[in-house]
Structure 1
Amino acid sequence: MTGWHAPESLIARYADGSLPDSDAWSLEKHLESCAACAGRVSGAVRATAAGTVLAQVRGAVLDAAPPVRAKTPVRAKTPAPPVRTKTPVRAKTPAPPTRAKTPVRAKAPLHTPRLLWAAAPAVRGAWLPAVLLVALGAVLLAHVADFSGARPLLLAVAPVVPVAGVALSYGRHADPLHELAASTPSAGLRLVLTRTVLVLAVSLPLLTLAGVVLPASDAPGAAAWLLPGLTLTLAALALGGWLGLRAATAVTGGGWLCAVLAPALAAPDGAVSRQLSDQLSTYVGGAATQGGWAVAAAACAALLAARRTTYDRLDRH
């Protein structure tokens, strides 16, 4: 018995199935040691439509069960005769001391395999080759094809690469064991953030390094896309609570590409690279613009924290 008891509102939400999984698990753990709350929860569940159906099923099972026959009493066994005392065995000569075995290396902590299992879908499939293709493609365009717009093009595409990686790392389409993973206490936002961190850890260094080795141009610096990329990723996660993760990434990533590439593609022939550089200077260049992206990233992170419980039911079915 504990000193805390579940309030009626919590029990009512548990009975009608509207309580989030994490809160339901916490309540069920409390019921193991609190008979009073267990009785209240049982009564609340029986009062619902599901309780009526369960009562009918229980009654049908009891009616169909065959009667249990009484067992025949077992006769008492005759006491066994006393056992003779054995002759004492002589003590054996002590065995020579054995050599100490080489110490075995300590195994990896249990949380390491769990972390790798949770993060693995973030680097499986076609996403990781796609990141390498974007980075190497920009380098080859600049140094082999002598394309002067390689850096602006990379800076335009780089912010949506981690957004696409997040969309491709969570859900039934990405993880064959998604149903199993989604039913664990570590599912929901925690699992999404674990895979998002791995996506960022892979894509940010590769794309930034590719931007560093590209020839200088009028486009902003190689790291100018980092804050926009982080903001778009957080915005996709925040919108995922309303739209679903894949739809949210399509909205944020597609919106960025339309805003940056559409004016450049509409420019006259020969001025596409110049127009793209001007667009990027407007969207990611300068301290004031980068400060705006930082504020937007903080706002998206706050919104994601406020709506974290929506990920408890995200893509479960």
Structure 2
Amino acid sequence: MIDDYARGVTTMAADTVWALEAHLETCAPCRSLLAASVATGAPDIAALVDTVRAGLEPRLDAVGAVPPRWRRPRWVSSWLTPAMTPWLAMTAVVTLVALLLDAAAPAEVFGSSSPVSLIAPVLPLCGVAASWSSGLDPAHELTASTARAGLPLLLRRTTSVLVVVLPVLLLGGWLTGSTTAAQWLLPSLAFTSTALALGSVVGVTRAALGLVAGWGLVVVAPTSITGRVPAFLQLALQRDQLPVWGLLLALGVCAVIARRDTYSTL
């Protein structure tokens, strides 16, 4: 496989090439085999590399040593994208604003519902949208072309969003005392899995933002205007309706698994 890869054999399957590249990232002996294979099986590439090296070495020597600087751990880059930091900060700020509204807003504004409970089901979607947005990530093209791109990387970034957002919501729900964790945790996870499932068709960012916009128009805006929570939301967040959210979560997960190959081409 390494010999075929070095020679640029076009009959190699795409998934085989990606698996080989992912393996080469962590296997020094195989990288040595690749270097030897390029030298013997692809002399044109070896000559090109030598030419580039001969042109760069004098320039690099003239630049001098670069002072060492802090480098973030490798696992941070594999789980997070720089664009997620401001979005996660914004999510925390939105939760804080909801807490302030819950404490200071007149009772007739949101009726019997807490602002935290209104935004909790869709709040993780803001971070999910930012975690896979080509417009917000300057290195999106580079990331999307790596061997580890696709569903595994998307799940890592989604998990990192949930790890940050869910504790903030848990703290907000505990401070307000208006809703239990189970009443918003399952809806949050259900909306997240639905966004990932729809993302295999229209793109994760579009799917997440579409669900947020739909929830805002159907639930948050009417509640803010009338001061009454829509009847269907009151019914949906009741304890006896939690199995329905669990079913929606399971369906979203099954859809993601069934369409897992499409995420590498988003």
Runs of at least 4 residues off by over 4 Å: 26-29
* Match of residue 144 from structure 2: 182
User: Relative to structure 1, is the Cα distance of residues 28 and 127 closer, same or farther in structure 2, using a 3 angstrom cutoff?
Assistant: closer
> Out of 253, 256, 260, which is 1:304 matched to?
256
Superposed displacement of residue 276, structure 1: 1.6
Secondary structure at the counterpart of residue 148 of structure 2: coil
Verify the 8 A CA contact 2:92 2:168 in the aligned structure 1.
yes
Q: Tell me, in whole angstroms, the C-alpha distance in 2 between the residues paired with 1:215 and 1:208.
A: 10
User: Relative to structure 1, is the Cα distance of residues 209 and 122 closer, same or farther in structure 2, using a 3 angstrom cutoff?
Assistant: farther
Superposition pairs of residues 5-20 of structure 1, within 5 angstroms: none
Superposed displacement of residue 300, structure 1: 0.8
Q: CA RMSD in A?
A: 3.1
Q: Which has the higher contact order (CA 8 A, sep 6+)?
A: 2
User: Relative to structure 1, is the Cα distance of residues 25 and 142 closer, same or farther in structure 2, using a 3 angstrom cutoff?
Assistant: closer
Superposition pairs of residues 149-298 of structure 1, within 5 angstroms: 149=110, 152-216=114-178, 220-265=179-224, 267=226, 272=227, 275-276=228-229, 278-287=231-240, 289-298=241-250
User: Relative to structure 1, is the Cα distance of residues 301 and 133 closer, same or farther in structure 2, using a 3 angstrom cutoff?
Assistant: same
Secondary structure at the counterpart of residue 241 of structure 1: helix
User: Relative to structure 1, is the Cα distance of residues 140 and 262 closer, same or farther in structure 2, using a 3 angstrom cutoff?
Assistant: closer
Q: Tell me, in whole angstroms, the C-alpha distance in 1 between the residues paired with 2:120 and 2:82.
A: 17
- 2:135 equivalent to 1:135: no
Cα distance per residue 1:49-90 (max 9 Å; x no partner):
xxxxxxxxxxxxxxxxxxxxxxxxxxxxxxxxxxxxxxxxxx
Verify the 8 A CA contact 2:196 2:207 in the aligned structure 1.
yes
Q: Tell me, in whole angstroms, the C-alpha distance in 2 between the residues paired with 1:293 and 1:312.
A: 28
Q: Tell me, in whole angstroms, the C-alpha distance in 2 between the residues paired with 1:222 and 1:147.
A: 24
Secondary structure at the counterpart of residue 114 of structure 2: helix
User: Relative to structure 1, is the Cα distance of residues 124 and 262 closer, same or farther in structure 2, using a 3 angstrom cutoff?
Assistant: closer
In the superposition, the TM-score normalised over structure 1's length comes to: 0.58
The structure that has the greater radius of gyration is 1
Q: Percentage identity across aligned positions?
A: 36
User: Relative to structure 1, is the Cα distance of residues 113 and 27 closer, same or farther in structure 2, using a 3 angstrom cutoff?
Assistant: closer
Verify the 8 A CA contact 1:172 1:179 in the aligned structure 2.
yes
User: Relative to structure 1, is the Cα distance of residues 194 and 305 closer, same or farther in structure 2, using a 3 angstrom cutoff?
Assistant: same
Q: What is the identity, as a one-letter code, of the residue corresponding to 1:309? A: D
Q: What is the identity, as a one-letter code, of the residue corresponding to 2:212? A: G
- 2:77 equivalent to 1:117: yes
Of residues 165-174 and 294-303 in structure 1, the stretch that sits farther from structure 2 once superposed is: 165-174
Verify the 8 A CA contact 1:224 1:284 in the aligned structure 2.
yes
Of residues 129-138 and 182-191 in structure 1, the stretch that sits farther from structure 2 once superposed is: 129-138
Q: Tell me, in whole angstroms, the C-alpha distance in 1 between the residues paired with 2:188 and 2:156.
A: 17
Gap runs ≥5 in structure 1: 2-10, 30-111
Q: Tell me, in whole angstroms, the C-alpha distance in 2 between the residues paired with 1:123 and 1:154.
A: 25
Q: Tell me, in whole angstroms, the C-alpha distance in 2 between the residues paired with 1:151 and 1:213.
A: 14
Superposed displacement of residue 281, structure 1: 2.1
Q: Tell me, in whole angstroms, the C-alpha distance in 2 between the residues paired with 1:194 and 1:122.
A: 14
In the superposition, the TM-score normalised over structure 2's length comes to: 0.68
Secondary structure at the counterpart of residue 73 of structure 2: helix
User: Relative to structure 1, is the Cα distance of residues 224 and 24 closer, same or farther in structure 2, using a 3 angstrom cutoff?
Assistant: same
Of residues 115-124 and 131-140 in structure 1, the stretch that sits farther from structure 2 once superposed is: 115-124
Superposed displacement of residue 278, structure 1: 4.7
Gap runs ≥5 in structure 2: 2-8, 23-71
Secondary structure at the counterpart of residue 293 of structure 1: helix
Provide the aligned length of Structure 1 versus Structure 2.
209
Verify the 8 A CA contact 2:190 2:246 in the aligned structure 1.
yes
Q: Tell me, in whole angstroms, the C-alpha distance in 1 between the residues paired with 2:21 and 2:91.
A: 44
User: Relative to structure 1, is the Cα distance of residues 135 and 257 closer, same or farther in structure 2, using a 3 angstrom cutoff?
Assistant: same
